Structure 1
């Protein structure tokens, strides 16, 4: 059995990778850590995957100068084979404070037909009560100064609450955008890793096919020699 140049342990059959089959960038990274590693040496597939991840990290660092928090989350997810597409809505909702929840509920109710119908019904009832039922001594005679004061106070309170909810919505959209970015980046890196794995399997398979063809050629040559012998 072949031994890994990195761990110096025996490699199980089918998991060995020759240095000659490794991409140049990854090979140079391995050689940076293990100077004695050559094209004729072997490592395990797990060790190769580890250096593939390190190589991808180095590429991102070269491109951006420094890994951002989002990129670190993605590389950690690739390293641990974890899933990023969890339910982000539940995560966002769990981080809300009581005031933010109230602001969202008020903004949601203030922008509904229920609020509009109830509000206009209240205004109409207010006017009818003061004009018809309390015509002799209304508590808010025409032009309804008290009603105007209540409407002004309602508008003054409702406007900042709605702005608070809009700020929360912008924060939610930003978090969703960051989440989508992490998923897209992870998918791109995983596809690149998968492509390299497929390339390695194809090279390995082609070697096996060539070996089988060489054996078949040897059989044919033996048969030809037997057929040419005089009886």
Structure 2
């Protein structure tokens, strides 16, 4: 079943090559070249990721973990104890109650961390869209391969039936046989 890309597109998808979208072009090209199509979405996304994307993912992974929450809580309690009891006893508390400097640092951290986490979520959404696109390509390829197999089997069955029909005709009309 050879032919040009346009013939493949017309035969398998019922539309000319010019009307194919990018996924359909990749599927037809893969069928035409006889190569596998399936790709891992995580690998493709990692290939496309820039340094900032990987950093955002790492910050979101760390900032959204129990380890970070426990460690950060310990730092906050330590800060408050240090400035309320220990250093204040010696008159050296650099951020006494109501901990204005601590509030400034927490606000700054939240102002930086929130957009970074949103960048990571946007990247995850892009990964999900990529995975859906790759799934579509794989499903389309499988569907087209099944259609091609059906066509091949139908052709083989029809050829076989024609051969049987010819044999039956030959048995029914022995006079038409040549000596």
| TM-score interval, normalised by the smaller of the two chains | 0.7 to 0.9
What are the residue-to-residue correspondences of 1:49-88 with 2, within 5 Å?
53-56=8-11, 59-61=14-16, 66-88=19-41
Of stretches 185-194 and 149-158 in structure 1, the one that deviates more from structure 2 is 185-194
- CA 1:181–1:155: 2 relative to 1, 3 Å: same
TM-score w.r.t. length of structure 2: 0.85
Instruction: Name the CA distance, whole Å, in 1 between partners of 2:32 and 2:77.
Output: 65
Which protein is bigger by CA-based radius of gyration? Answer: 1
* Offset at residue 47 of structure 1 (A): 4.6
Taking structure 1 as the reference length, the TM-score comes to: 0.67
Q: Which runs of 5+ in 2 are unaligned?
A: none
Q: Quote the offset at 1:96 in angstroms.
A: 0.9
* Structure with the largest fraction of helix: 2
Q: Matched residues in 2 for 1:170 and 1:110: separation?
A: 19
Partner of 1:41: none
Aligned length: 173
Corresponding position of 2:165? 210
| Distance (Å, rounded) in 2 between the aligned partners of 1:54 and 1:217 | 44
Aligned counterpart, 1:201? 156
**Structure 1 residues 49 and 79 mapped into 2: Cα distance closer, same or farther (>3 Å)?**
same
Query: Per the alignment, do residues 50 and 145 of structure 1 end up closer, same or farther by CA in structure 2, a change over 3 Å counting?
Result: closer
Provide closer, same or farther for how the CA distance between residues 50 and 104 of structure 1 changes in structure 2, counting only shifts above 3 A. Answer: closer
Matches of 1:103 and 1:160 in 2, distance apart? 9
